């Protein structure tokens, strides 16, 4: 899937986004991005084992992507590369393949390459909030 199609289907049209590395702390970039996306109509699914069972922006947080009971369109990574070891394994547990979005600061060319080779659509080094603000009418 090309970037233009991803933008049209999942960014300019609000989609269902798993936010991996979600935080309830208002001073964190992930919180600001989540708050913006929620206000733009996106349905967010916070994922972070450190906040499992807590609510972040009104949504219950789960420990792992594979723990979500609903399908998501995008898995947005807000974790540094050294914290991403379990992501590929967790993605393999899903019965579908969401777009994997590497937010700035979460760049991981090695994992991105592995995922692309396994048929995932990958967006590298782009912020969903900035993409929505700058590219959507």
Rounded to whole angstroms, the Cα distance separating 107 from 79 reads 9
Q: What is the pLDDT of residues 50-92, one digit of tens each?
A: 999 999 999 999 999 999 999 999 999 999 999 998 898 999 9
**pLDDT of the residue at 88:** 87
Percentages of the chain per state (helix, strand, coil), in multiples of 5: 40, 20, 45
CB 68 within 8 A of CB 45: yes
Q: What is the pLDDT of residues 8-55, one digit of tens each?
A: 999 999 999 999 999 999 999 999 999 999 999 999 999 999 999 999
Of all residues in the chain, the percent with pLDDT exceeding 90 is: 92
* 3-state class (DSSP) for residue 102: strand
Residue burial 84-122, b: 16+ Cβ < 10 Å; e: rest:
beebbebbeeeeeebbbbbbeebebeebbeebeeeebbb
**pLDDT of the residue at 13:** 95
- Per CATH, the number for 3-130 is 3.40.50.720
Beta bridge partners of 123: 101
Mean of the pLDDT values across residues 97-105?
96
Per-domain residue ranges for the chain? 3-130
Q: Which of 135, 130, 84 is nearest to 106 (CA)?
A: 84
Any residues with CB less than 8 A from the CB of 3 and at least 6 apart, and which?
A: 123
Q: Which of 129, 31, 136 is nearest to 74 (CA)?
A: 129
What is the residue-averaged pLDDT of the chain?
A: 95
């Amino acid at each position: 899937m090309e970037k233009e199609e991803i933008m049209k289907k999942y960014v300019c049209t609000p989609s269902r986004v798993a936010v991996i590395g979600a935080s309830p702390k208002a001073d964190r970039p992930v919180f600001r991005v989540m708050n913006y996306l929620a206000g733009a109509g996106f349905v967010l699914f916070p994922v972070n084992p450190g906040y499992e069972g807590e609510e972040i922006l009104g949504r219950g947080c789960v420990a792992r992507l594979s723990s979500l009971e609903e399908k998501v369109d995008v898995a947005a990574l807000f974790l540094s590369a050294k914290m991403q070891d379990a992501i590929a394994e967790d993605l393999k547990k899903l019965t579908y393949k969401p777009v994997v979005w590497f937010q700035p600061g979460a760049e991981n060319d090695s994992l991105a390459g592995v995922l692309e080779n396994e048929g995932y659509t990958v967006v590298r080094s782009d912020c969903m909030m900035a993409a929505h603000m700058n590219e959507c009418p």
